[in-house]
A and B are shown apart, each in its own frame.
Chain A
Amino acid sequence: MKNFRTTKLLTLVLAGTLALAGCSSSKDAGSSGAADGGNAADTNSTAPVTFTFFGADASPNWNNMKDDVGQEITKKTGVTINAEYDVGSGGGDQKISLMAASGQYPDLIYAKGSLSTLIDAGALVDMTDLIDKYAPNLKKLYSSNMNRLKYSNEDPKIYSIPTNVGVDNMIFDATGGFEIQHRVLKELGYPKVKTVQDYENVLKQYVAKHPTTNGQPTIPLTLNADDWKIMITVTNPAFQATGAPDDGEYYIDPTTYEAKLHYKRPEEKEYFRWLNHMYNEGLLDKDTFVQKDDQYKAKISSGRVLGLIDQEWDYQDAENALKSANKNEFTYAHFPVTMSEDIKDKSMQSVGFDGYGISITTSCKDPVRAIKFLDWLASDEGQVLRNWGVEGKHYKVENGKRVIPAEIQNRKVNDASTFSKETGIGLYTAMSGRYGDGVKDSTGNYYTTNFPEQIVASYSDAEKESLKGYNATTWKDLFPNEKDFPVKDWGAAYNMTVPTDGEYQVIWKKTQDIVRKSIPEAVLSKPADFDKVYDNFLASLDKAGAPKMEAEYTTLVKARVSLWTGKDIK
C-alpha cells in the first residue's frame, strides 16, 4: 500500500518536472568525433575520420558535406567535417566564451575576433612544427608571410592560419570614395571631380537645374550616421580626403608608429569644416544625423540623392533596387575626392597579409591528420576544387583554360543560395589557406573565379558610359594605384587584437560616445561656432583619457611591426 502511494507521488513530481524540462536538449556539445576509426600511425591514410568544426561566421547554406565539393573532399581525404556555425551576425563571441568556460572544444575552429579568448584558455595547438613537418602546401603558400602568422612577441607561436583573406589578393575595383549619380555626370559632361570643391560644385550645379526628382525634392548629399555606420560615411572619409590610410579610428605615423585618434589631425578639422559648410549651404541633407539605416536606403532607392560618401556594401541594397527597376542612371560612380589636388587618396594602399583564420584545438585527437587535411585543401587541387567546383560538372577546361558554362554561371548569380547548397562552392573557402584573386596557378589559370574581365562584364550600361567619359575601364583606374604606396608594416590596424579588459576598453567606449555626439554637433553648428565646437570636442577626448589609450595602442602597433618585419623599434 504504502509503496504504491510513494510511487504515485513520485510520479506526479516526475511528470510535472518533465513537463517543465520537456524542451531541454539532448545535444552533445562535444568533440567526441575525433579520429574515430582513424589510424594515427599511418598518417597518409585516407581512412574515414570525422573532425568537428565551429565557424564564427554564419553559413546558412552548409549542407553537412552532402554537396558535390564536400563529397569530393571526403573521397580524396577520408575526412568528414561535422560543422556548426554561429547564427546571424553573431561573430561567435558568446559561443566561444562558453566553450572556453566549459573546456569543450571542436577539433577545428574558425574563431575570428575571439582567438585571444581561446589562447588565454589554453585551448589551441601551436601549429609551427606541424606546418613545418606535415604541410608543404601551407608552407609554400605562406612562405613570405610566416612572421605575420605569429601571435605576439611574447608568444610567437602560430595558433591560427589566416583563411578569410587570400594570399597576394589583388583588388580589381574601387567600391568606396565619393559617389555621384551617372545622370549627373552625363548631363554635366563628365566634369573633373578631384577635390571636395569640384564635388560640391557638381552637386550644386545639378540641383539648381533639377530641384525635384520624380516630383520629390532632390537631395544633393546625404550620409548615413545610424550607429556605427557613422564611421563609414561621416568620419572615415575625413582621413580618406586628407590622404591618410584606413587605420580604424586611429592615425598611425608611418615612420614613428605613433598612434593617435585621427580626428586630432588638423587637416581633418578642415574636412569637417567643409561638411559644416555643406550643411549651412543646404547641400547636406537636414535628416543626415537623424535618419535610420532603412530611411537612408529608402532615399537612395528613390533615386533623388545625387551624391553619397559611402562604401558600396553599405548602400548596395538600395542600388540593387534601382538596378532591378532599370534605373541604372540613378546608380553611382566612384571618385577619389580629396581636400586639394596634391593630396592622394590612399584607399588602395595594401595592408599586406592580415586576416582571421582556422585553428586546431587541444581537443583534437589527431592534430597531424588535421594539419594534413588542411594542407590538402591548400594544395592546387584543393584550392581549385573549393573555388571552382568539380571539373566537368561546374567548370570545363577548354584549350587549357578553366571556363564556367553559361548555365552554371547564370545559376550562380540568380539562384545563389541553392546553388551553393548543392555544389558546395564557397562553403569551404574559410577552412584553409588559399591564394587571393588575381593569382594564377601552374596551368596559367586564376585560382579564384574573380578576375578583371569578369568585373568589367558585370558593369551596367550606365557605369560603362560614365567610365568611358573618364577614359577608364574600372573605377579603380581613377584611384591612385596601390603600387604608389608602400605596404603597411602594421597590416590592418582595425583587425588588431586590443586588450579586452582594463581601462583601454572603457576609454575607447567613452571616446566613441564623444565622437558620435560631437561630430554631428560640429557639422550642424553655425559656421562661426565651428572652431569652438571642434576644439571642445578634442578637449573632451583628452579629458576622457584618449592620450592613455593612444599610448597603449602605440605600444601594440610597435610590437606588431617588430614581430612581423623584424625591425627593431623603440
Chain B
Amino acid sequence: MKTLTMDDNLQHESVTPKAPKRKKKTKGDFWKSVGQQKYLYFMSIPFVIWLFVFSYVPLWGWTMAFQNYKPAKSFSNQKWVGLKNFVELFQDERFYLVLRNTLAMSIMGIVVGFIVPIVFAILLNELRSMKFKRTIQTVSYLPHFVSWVVVAGIITKLLSIDGGIVNEILLSLHIIDQPIQFMAKGNWFWGIVTASDVWKETGWNAIIYLAAITGIDKEQYEAARVDGASRFRQIWNITLPGIRPTIMVLLILSIGHLTSIGFEKQMLLGNSLVTDYSEVLDLYALKYGIQINRFSYGTAIGMFNSIVSIILLFTANGLFKKFAKESIM
C-alpha cells in the first residue's frame, strides 16, 4: 500500500514541482513561511512527536511524587498524599549530606574538568609535528571509551596498599614510610573521583575545543605574527577569545547539570568506609526510592533534581548574558 503511494508520488513530482507557490496565503508572514516550508515542517513532525512522547509525556509521571504510588493500581485508585514525600525528603538529614557530596564533586568536576581540557587543547594545538599531535590526541581520548567498571578497578589497584604503584613510588622516594590506604580515607574521596574523571575525559573533552580552534581564521595569526606577537600572546589574544563562545555554551550547560552527575563513579569507587563522602543524590534516589519500592519518593527526588537544574540553567544563562554577553538562549 505504502510503496504504491510512494511510486505515485515520484511520478507526479516532476509534473507539479511548482504547485505550492501558486497557492495564496493571506494569514501573515508566519503562516506564509510555514506554507512555503511545509515539507520541512512535515518532515520535522515525527521528531516533534518523538520529543513530546519521550520528554514531555513522562512528565505526567511527576504526579507520582504527590501520591503513595502502588504499581498494580490504576491512576484513579492511587492515594494522594500532597507534599508528604517532599516533607520527608527535606527532613532527612542524609539528604543534605548527599546534596553536599553531589555539589562538592560536581563543582570540583566543573572547575578542573574545564581548565584541564582547554589547556590541553591549546597545548596540543601548538605542537608542530602533526604525527606526534595525532598520536597524543588518540592516546588521550581512548580512556573515554573504557567503562567505569574497568576504570574503577584500575584506580583501586593503583592506589592499593597491596603492591599498588602509587604507594610503591611514594615508599621508594621515602616520602612516606607506611603505605597509605587511599581508598579508605573519606576526605580524599572527592579528589580521587575528580582526578580519575580528569584522566578519563580530558582527551575527549579537548576534541571540541580543538575543533573550535581549527575554526579560527588563520589570517588573524598571520596578522599577529606580522605585528610581532609571541606565541604566548597569540594564544592569549587570538586562540582563547576565539573559543570563548564554545567555552561559555559548554559551561552554561554543565552548570545546568550540576545536581545530576550520575552515580557510576561514586558507586564503583566507593566502599562502606567512605559512604559519608561517596553517596550522591542519584545513588540516594536509587537506594531509598526504587530499591525499596518507594517510587513516589524516588520521583520526588528526581523532581527536585530537575527543578534545581532548570533554575541553575536559567540563572547561569542570565548571568552570562548580562556580564559576558554570551548565552545559549
Footprint of B on A, CB under 8 Å?
Answer: 1, 4-5, 7-9, 11-17, 19-20, 97-98, 100-101, 117, 120-121, 216-217, 225-226, 230, 286-287, 289-292, 294-295, 299, 500-501, 505-506, 508-510, 513, 516-517, 519-521, 524
Contacts and interface: CB of A to CB of B under 8 A. Distances in A.
Contact of B293 (A1, A290, A505, A524): A505
Contact of B272 (A97, A506, A520): A520
Contact of B43 (A12, A117, A121, A226): A12
B156 A516 contact: no
B71 A101 contact: yes
Contacts of A12: 39, 42-43
B146 interface: no
A287 B161 contact: yes
Contacts of B50: 20
Contacts of B276: 517
Interface string B136-169: 0000000000000000110011001111000000
B46 A13 contact: yes
28 contacts: A4-B12, A8-B5, A9-B39, A16-B45, A97-B71, A101-B72, A286-B162, A287-B161, A287-B181, A289-B271, A289-B273, A290-B184, A290-B273, A291-B156, A292-B153, A292-B156, A292-B271, A295-B156, A295-B157, A299-B162, A501-B294, A509-B288, A510-B94, A513-B275, A513-B287, A517-B272, A517-B273, A524-B273
A509 B38 contact: no
Given A97-B71, A100-B72, A121-B72, A508 B292 contact: yes
A286 B181 contact: yes
Interface of B: 2, 5-6, 8-9, 12, 16, 19, 38-39, 42-43, 45-47, 49-50, 68, 70-72, 94, 152-153, 156-157, 160-163, 181, 183-184, 271-273, 275-276, 287-288, 291-294
Given A4-B8, A299-B162, A505-B293, 18 more contacts: A5-B16, A7-B9, A8-B12, A9-B42, A11-B2, A13-B46, A15-B2, A100-B71, A117-B71, A121-B72, A216-B163, A226-B271, A286-B161, A295-B156, A500-B293, A501-B294, A509-B287, A510-B94
Contact of B42 (A13, A505, A508, A516): A13
Contacts, number: 121
Contact of B49 (A5, A17, A230): A17
Nearest to A287: B162
B19 A1 contact: yes
Contacts of A16: 43, 45-47
Nearest to B53: A20
Given A4-B12, A9-B38, A14-B2, A501 B293 contact: yes
Contacts of B272: 225, 230, 289, 516-517, 519-520
Contacts of B94: 510
Contacts of A120: 70, 72
Contact of A290 (B8, B271, B294): B271
Contact of A11 (B9, B38, B291): B9
Contacts of A520: 272-273
Contact of A501 (B70, B162, B291): B70
A279 to B, nearest CB: 12
Contact of B294 (A226, A230, A295, A505): A505
B44 to A, nearest CB: 9
Nearest to A294: B153
A117 B39 CA distance: 50
